Amino acid sequence: MPKYFCPFCDISLPNSLYRLRKTHINGKKHKLMRRAYYLELLENKDVRKELFNKIDKSLMVKRAFIMPKLKKIPVVPEIPRNINVFRLPEDFNFEDRRNYGVKLDEIRTILDGNYH
């Protein structure tokens, strides 16, 4: 099994098991060493200048793009012109089988669940 090397603490753990790495990373010594590493890195003027330049560039890009205000235009569907076309006649008999093009007995057996 490969060993795990911690660059902050300059130690290598005997193996790279997740539990062992997690225990090391949550340890007090590791946290102090990591903090000291980054503070030392920020003390370097070249690194600090480069870091702030990158931050400024990203902020400028963010400020340059301004999302336009979108006005939501409501879409109203048109009123149907021939409303009376789809009405059934007033004397339409729903119980008369001749008014339907399908066989009602087949539909009833399907709806009742007695079909095979």
Using a cut of 0.85, tell me whether the model's pTM lies above it: no
Contact 56/38 with Cβ under 8 angstroms? no
Nearest Cα to Cα of residue 3 among 21, 19, 25: 21
Q: What are phi and psi of 67, to 5 degrees?
A: -70, 125
Domain extents for the chain? Answer: 4-81
Residue 114 per-residue DSSP state: -
pLDDT greater at residue 34 or residue 100: 34
Residue 63, amino acid: R
Is residue 114 scored above 70 in pLDDT?
Answer: no
pLDDT-derived band at 50 (thresholds 50, 70, 90) equals very high
pLDDT greater at residue 9 or residue 87: 9
Torsion over CA: 81, 83, 86, 88 (sign): negative
For 33-58, what is the mean pLDDT? 91
Cβ burial of 86 (10 Å; 0-12, 13-18, 19+) is exposed
For 39-43, what is the mean pLDDT? 89
Residue 87, amino acid: R
Which residue bears the tokens 């340890």?
Answer: 27
pLDDT greater at residue 67 or residue 37: 37
For 16-27, what is the mean pLDDT? 91
Beta-ladder partners of 5: 12
